[in-house]
Amino acid sequence: MKQLRVLSPTAILGYGFPISSFEEGMKRKPHVIAVDAGSTDPGPYYLGAGKSFTDRNSVKRDLEIMIPAAIEAGIPVIVGTAGGSGGQPHVKLTLDIIREIAQQKELSFKIAVIQSEFDKTFVKDNIRNGNISPLFPAKELSEEDVDNSVRIVAQMGEEPFIEALNNGAQVILAGRSYDPSVFASLAIKEGFDKGLAIHMGKILECAAIAALPGSGSDSMFGYLNEDNFVLEPLSPNRKCTTLSIAAHTLYEKSNPYILPGPGGAINLHEAKFEQIEDNMVRVSGSKFVPTDEYFVKLEGVRKVGYRTISCAGVADPIMISKIDDITKSVKERVEDNFASYGIKDFFLDFKIYGKNGVMGMFDDRGATAGNELMIIIEAVADSQEQADTICGFARSTMLHFGYEGRIATAGNLAFPFSPSDAKMGEVYEFNVYHLMKVDNPTTLFPIEYFQF
């Protein structure tokens, strides 16, 4: 085989794609349909709660197009980071959808299900054996951190996918995965250059986001050759350019030349980007450099409480000019009020959109307020009831807070919704963001096979 072709239907399973683009991809006779189904971008909640950030109906729509087309063409479908976060409940969610599709469409195929959630005892054993090290800015991982975590997953490389392909799986459903490995595994199995395969996977995992204009809900096609790969969008409305592909190569990376992953890194010092047609780019020179030891990245979350928020608008220029002093005074009033009840362990914050609502986490960044603000009052406490109480008190205090120059005799805040307060439920934070040294990257991720 001198060329391996990969169809990437959409940036994340459930984001959708035009049927016309998908059909164009199938006309090019792909050897595999691969799709990334998740990310840590939506934050820690979904990993902790065991829920998907993509809609179930949307995921089913994408899969019930992809799977029958692949079976008819006699090619595999590979899904990575199932359910958005790749834990056991996320894999089960997606497996249930695939089972529904198989029954409703009367399909017959062999599916491999690869798990990536680790038992806490296993992780603690690896801490004792000195196999786990932090990724900046995480601290050293303790056994207490592991006990406090709700769920810990690891990013698998291409090895478990290759194992499943070798055992005849027509559909592969995997837990947390290193995104490019989903797209590169068949190519590496077939003996193609690993550096080029993973670099192409790095681009294809976001599908048409790497094209101009970019889209997370459109398809992209990759042609992997012996010494290069070519990328082509499947909509006539988009094109790949050397700038768009090179820029996406840098996406989510702190080092522009080294792209690390399980077992090694892609070295891009000699990478070359060439415009070969108006909408197609050829890439060459990417090299895989293995590490002396094999590491996988661990991701884990712990529960920190429950959240309630209240959103309100402010248009009074006098209040806007004093907003920092007002929020400071309101916070002090809330803390004083609940100290008498013995409630001190809570988090209260005021996110001021129109004045550092996005960049407020950086202390040294100044900002000039606009002529109206959106204030999000956020309270996090040990119980939903406490969070409701603290948020409600902060909201009523700010609503009627008296400040110098105040003219209004009614409230200071305009609420776009009634009720004004919204229960957001459980709150999680990442507490495991570490590398773990492993001996066998295949057996680490158990595989089950089912025949539908």
Are residues 126 and 96 part of one domain? yes
Are residues 335 and 446 part of one domain? no
What pLDDT sits at residue 356? 66
Task: Specify if 418 maps to a domain.
Answer: no
* Domain encompassing residue 356: 316-413
The DSSP secondary structure of 12-71, one letter per residue, reads STTS---HHHHHHHHHT--SEEEEE---STT-SHHHHHT--SS-HHHHHHHHHHHHHHHH
Task: Specify if 424 maps to a domain.
Answer: no
Task: Specify if 305 maps to a domain.
Answer: no
Structure tokens at 330: 């309101």
Percent share of the chain, pLDDT over 90: 91
Please, are residues 198 and 180 in contact by the beta-carbon 8 Å criterion? Answer: yes
What pLDDT sits at residue 363? 64
Are residues 276 and 322 part of one domain? no
Task: Specify if 133 maps to a domain.
Answer: yes
Task: Give the span between the Cα atoms of 291 and 91, in whole angstroms.
Answer: 30
Are residues 251 and 128 part of one domain? yes
pLDDT confidence tier of residue 265, bands split at 50, 70 and 90: very high
Give the C-alpha distances (Å, rounded to integers) separating 145 from 68, 91, 136, 142, 403.
44, 24, 16, 5, 44
The average confidence (pLDDT) of the chain is: 95
Mean pLDDT of 412-440: 96
Chain CA centroid to CA 296, Å: 17
What pLDDT sits at residue 51? 97
Are residues 284 and 335 part of one domain? no
Are residues 246 and 380 part of one domain? no
CA atoms within 13 A on the CB side of 353: 7
Are residues 334 and 280 part of one domain? no
Are residues 439 and 325 part of one domain? no
Q: Which of 419, 360, 423, 421 is nearest to 394 (CA)?
A: 421
Task: Specify if 16 maps to a domain.
Answer: yes
More confident residue, 1 or 45: 45
Query: How many structural domains are present in the chain?
Result: 2
Among 2-6, 252-256, 423-427, whose mean pLDDT is lowest? 252-256
Task: Give the span between the Cα atoms of 370 and 365, in whole angstroms.
Answer: 16
Task: Specify if 426 maps to a domain.
Answer: no
Task: Specify if 57 maps to a domain.
Answer: yes
Are residues 329 and 251 part of one domain? no
pLDDT confidence tier of residue 245, bands split at 50, 70 and 90: very high
Are residues 200 and 119 part of one domain? yes
Is residue 404 pLDDT above 70, yes or no?
yes
Are residues 358 and 276 part of one domain? no
Q: Which helix (H) or strand (E) holds 432?
A: strand 421-438
The crossing angle, in degrees rounded to 10, of helices 323-339 and 384-399 is 130
- Angle (CA) 291-294-295 rounded to 5° is 105
Are residues 65 and 127 part of one domain? yes
Mean pLDDT of 170-193: 98
Beta strands in 315-420 (DSSP E): 347-353, 373-381
Mean pLDDT of 253-271: 93
Task: Specify if 423 maps to a domain.
Answer: no
